[in-house]
Amino acid sequence: MRAARRSLDDLDLFGPGFVSDPWPHLAELRERAPVHHDRHTGLWLVSRHADIRAVLADPAGFVPDNALTAITPVPPPQLRVLARARFSLPPTLANNGTDSHTGLRRLVAGYFTPAKVRAAEPRIRALADEYLDRLPATGEFDLVAGLAAELPCRVLLELLGITGVDLPVLKAWSAASLELFWGRPGPGRHQALAEAAGEFHQWLAARIRAATPGSPDLFGQLAAHRAPGDRPLRVAEAVGVCYFLLIAGQETTSQLLSTLLHRLIPRTDLWSRLAAGDQELAAACVEEVLRREPPVNTWRRVAARPATLSGVRVPQGAHLLLLLAGAGSDPEVFTDPESFCPARPDPRRHLAFGHGRHFCLGAGLARTEAAVVLTEVARRLPRLRLLEPEPPMLGLLSFRAPLRVLASR
């Protein structure tokens, strides 16, 4: 006798069952309700690869206006905290469907050209060695706190030409902002998050105002940038670019590294080849983790007009949640999607970096950084052992990764 199916109305995107093991839920959504209205969040969950790709490929029909909207409404007292800090995120990059997007995207893309990413490889390797040198010779250590958390932040800041940054403070601001916009904080927690986000916003505004227009760093380039109509960027717009970029540009890579190490360390068959310097395998492993466990596991859009996805009529104004992790395990696209298979053909058909005009500007850097760090860790620590198979997870609406990777030599 077959077990009764669970009601999809019981699905909790923030619940421990979904956060620890989302794949059965994602498979059930793809099979039973590929476009499902979630009564808890009010979002329409879209889980099939073809539908998600179609949404991302249609920027006129599905606009990014809700990309940076707090999923848990900020209470009025904390809104006042943000207002006192003059906090605002006008349309700039991820949340921008206007004509100013192209120029801002081109400006930021200039820092992540293929040539600049290639030139950064020796520096990424040197930073990995620097962090590995600090690990204790005996006992357990955490590869998130000891490596993955800070390294991408330092790489990003160097590429952007930004100096004078307190790394622990920036990481604290970033973590608070992720939780504020993509988490489910309680009333007491909201106060600390709003204060941190306001501080970050004020710091960025001060750096923009102090920048020398035209200097090669990001602040200087934004200060000199001309928006459509040949007008200078408002400070709030420049801050919006930096706020998103300085969070997404390093937190997601930290999360990718954490997941990559957590999945590969126990695979001794693959780890020995990585330790021997198999670069192709490293790149393939990165793609498999991006396919199966992307750090950005969901993203949002608003239906600008009525649409039909997988036979379901979606009304105008509907807020969609694109389940990128679900798309990566779609059997219509990937053979044996539940298996970790670095040798699979067409590995880059996943949507971990999005698709279309909002495709992630840092995709090349993230791929390179992850492969270089993975091979360097394996080379330096060929007999590394994972001590915690099921670590606590970051479980935000759009971000998922191990919070620690405990290991020993």
Is the Cβ–Cβ distance between 271 and 407 less than 8 Å? Answer: no
Give the pLDDT score at 9.
83
Instruction: Give the single-character DSSP code of 304.
Output: S
Q: pLDDT category, 82, cuts 50, 70, 90?
A: very high
> How many whole angstroms separate alpha carbon 250 and alpha carbon 112?
13
> How many whole angstroms separate alpha carbon 365 and alpha carbon 151?
13
Q: What is the percent of the chain with per-residue pLDDT over 70, rounded to a whole number?
A: 99
Q: Name all domains of the chain by residue range, CATH numbers in brackets.
A: 13-408 (1.10.630.10)
> How many whole angstroms separate alpha carbon 227 and alpha carbon 245?
18
Q: Is the pLDDT of residue 342 over 90?
A: yes
Q: Is the pLDDT of residue 3 over 60?
A: no
The string of pLDDT tens digits covering residues 273-296 is: 999 999 999 999 999 999 999 999
Q: How far is CA 163 from CA 44, 148, 260, in A?
A: 42, 20, 29
Give the pLDDT score at 186.
87
Instruction: Give the single-character DSSP code of 357.
Output: G
> How many whole angstroms separate alpha carbon 400 and alpha carbon 259?
9
Per the DSSP assignment, residues forming a β-bridge with 167 are: none
Q: What is the percent of the chain with per-residue pLDDT over 90, rounded to a whole number?
A: 96
* Long-range contacts at 131-140 (CB < 8 A, ≥ 24 apart): 132/376, 132/377, 132/380, 132/381, 137/409, 138/408, 138/409, 139/408, 140/387, 140/406, 140/407, 140/408
Q: Is the pLDDT of residue 7 over 80?
A: no
The string of pLDDT tens digits covering residues 291-328 is: 999 999 999 999 999 999 999 999 999 999 999 999 99
Positive/negative CA dihedral, 208, 211, 213, 214: negative
Is the Cβ–Cβ distance between 34 and 51 less than 8 Å? Answer: yes
Is the Cβ–Cβ distance between 249 and 362 less than 8 Å? Answer: yes
The string of pLDDT tens digits covering residues 358-376 is: 999 999 999 999 999 999 9
Instruction: Give the single-character DSSP code of 7.
Output: P
The string of pLDDT tens digits covering residues 148-170 is: 999 999 999 999 999 999 999 99
Q: Average pLDDT for residues 95-109, to the nearest whole number?
A: 96
Q: Is the pLDDT of residue 56 over 90?
A: yes
- Name the residue type at position 14: F
Give the pLDDT score at 5.
63
Give the pLDDT score at 376.
98
Question: Torsion-angle region of residue 311: left (phi > 0), alpha (psi -120 to 50) or beta?
Answer: left
Q: Is the pLDDT of residue 400 over 60?
A: yes
Give the pLDDT score at 1.
37
Instruction: Provide the H-helix boundaries in 341-391.
Output: 363-380
Token output for 79: 């809104």
Q: Average pLDDT for residues 83-95, to the nearest whole number?
A: 95
Question: Mean pLDDT of all residues in the chain?
Answer: 96
